[in-house]
Chains A and B, each alone.
Chain A
């Protein structure tokens, strides 16, 4: 009506978006490639060969096994397909818990203040002093038996909300002073309504950026646990592949393909998350926006 949008297809809009935010675009493309690899891969490749003893062991890449096989007879391409999604899943669950709980507590603490805020700040301050890896190693070794990627994700999630809570609370404290929040109170809006429909939408880009950050931290923690041998023994996550590789002295025996596969996928994954994160940062913080050449 009052907007003047030149009549161009959705393709033109995408191109414009990509030019304005190349980091986010490239990051999302890389993420899409990984997700495609994890979900479309199994359509053309037999992922049952990710189990041990399904191929001849310790073979370098060949046509039958493009990424080679490990010394227990797993096809490393199949293992990478399965492992990529398992690893992303851990990140999504733990990062999701982290940001959801963090946003809820951060907003409630900042908005209501008082004893609720003091309690939240106290728990977060104490919680942040606990070395996360130590906590995870202790619990990981205590629950050795029933561990799968989901329980590991939940375990990481129990600590993942601490720093998002602190950061989101700080942002919400500033926003609480905004004129529209005060006017909403003057107009008789309830506290929860103000948090959800006045404050939350203003923080959406920031929440998205925290979510991506929380995902990458959760993946880092999960890979670390797996590599220490505290991960799920019967699931070929990227971290567990690293663990088996270390346990079987792949470096000394010169199995370079075994070393390369999980590391290559992890590098792509982290680069993608990093690019998405700085791309979102540009949206959340307009001062970082570069000027477009016309």
Chain B
């Protein structure tokens, strides 16, 4: 029994009038307990779909078509509907992208936390419950009085921290944060990430951070998985990937982050993100790749270990400069 999260071969398919598309194609990821995995990629590459698949919340016409997701040795995909409902929040919790719309506008924050607890636990005495709610709010730097406030009385950052309080109150084994700071300014962003990191370290849970902010990833996560067109194209420890990116896509992603060293020279990625409706026989990144060869269009590269804790799926991986 391995602890933490171990995903093997997870695939999600969308059946539309135009055909069936794999939004998530045979993904393998692993997050040891207490560790943080960053899931990065462009819009539509399957980041959020992967997160929802782990919670088994893919809505029709989407469908999980294969794979296993072992959390502390228990396959989430094999649980019954009722077991899965119990698992949500208590073992796997989700922090949404838009905290603005994720809290009920007519219910005080404290009541929303109490409702979330009541969905998973037997009723506890009133004062114990309210002490617990206050403690949860204070743990994310919210005043105790916030329990009586409505969402519209909180700022965006406070709402997001309230969401973190809800997501961590039952000490889940896995926290999935889906671009938790994308709507916040950098100051609130830092505060929210600090609170998230603190809560995660205290409970020792695994964490998946979804986003496309490479700078945030570099600071916050331990491991990184780069997604392109529903597949993991590169995965490894965050230091390894940032110092020695092997996949051209990763290299371009990192280069697109403005740094103090190369001021005034912003580089973007050429082309548009791969469309899932036109599945290429070879590498999905081939049409945009600077290192493309005829082989790339024919033959899909399989993920291959290039170094300890570093996997990339590319026929022509970048050779790391030894000076790095």
Contact = CB atoms under 8 A, between A and B. Distances in A.
A188 B116 CA distance: 8
A185 interface: yes
B88 interface: yes
In the complex, which of the residues A179, A185, A193 has the most CB atoms of chain B within 10 Å of its own CB atom? A179
Interface in A144-165: none
Contacts, number: 69
Contact of B115 (A1, A186, A193, A204): A193
Contacts of B98: 179
B105 interface: yes
Contact of A1 (B85, B101, B145): B145
Interface of B: 55, 57, 85-90, 93-94, 96, 98, 100-107, 115-116, 119-120, 143, 145-146, 148-149, 153, 163, 166
Given A186-B94, A187-B88, 5 more contacts: A185-B88, A186-B55, A187-B93, A198-B104, A202-B106
Contacts of A178: 101
B55 to A, nearest CB: 6
Contact of A179 (B86, B102, B107): B102
A2 B119 contact: no
B96 A190 contact: no
A189 interface: yes
A187 B148 contact: no
B119 A190 contact: yes
Contacts of A201: 104, 106-107
19 contacts: A2-B143, A2-B145, A2-B146, A179-B98, A183-B94, A183-B163, A184-B104, A186-B89, A187-B93, A187-B119, A188-B85, A188-B88, A188-B90, A188-B120, A189-B115, A190-B119, A193-B119, A198-B104, A202-B104
Nearest to A202: B106
Interface of A: 1-2, 178-180, 182-190, 193, 197-198, 201-202, 204
B10 to A, nearest CB: 18
A121 B253 CA distance: 50
B57 A186 contact: yes
Given A2-B153, A198-B104, A187 B145 contact: no
Contacts of A186: 55, 57, 88-89, 94, 96
A201 B103 CA distance: 13
B116 A187 contact: yes
A193 B94 CA distance: 19
A1 B109 CA distance: 15
A280 B148 CA distance: 25
Given A186-B57, A190-B119, A201-B107, A180 B102 contact: yes
A125 B94 CA distance: 40
B145 A180 contact: no
A184 to B, nearest CB: 8
B107 to A, nearest CB: 6
B243 to A, nearest CB: 36
B119 A188 contact: yes
In the complex, which of the residues A186, A190, A193 has the most CB atoms of chain B within 10 Å of its own CB atom? A186
A188 B102 contact: no
A178 B149 CA distance: 20
Q: Which A-B residue pairs are the 4 nearest by beta carbons? A: A179-B101, A188-B88, A1-B145, A187-B89
A208 to B, nearest CB: 14
B96 A179 contact: yes
Contact of A188 (B87, B101, B104, B143): B87
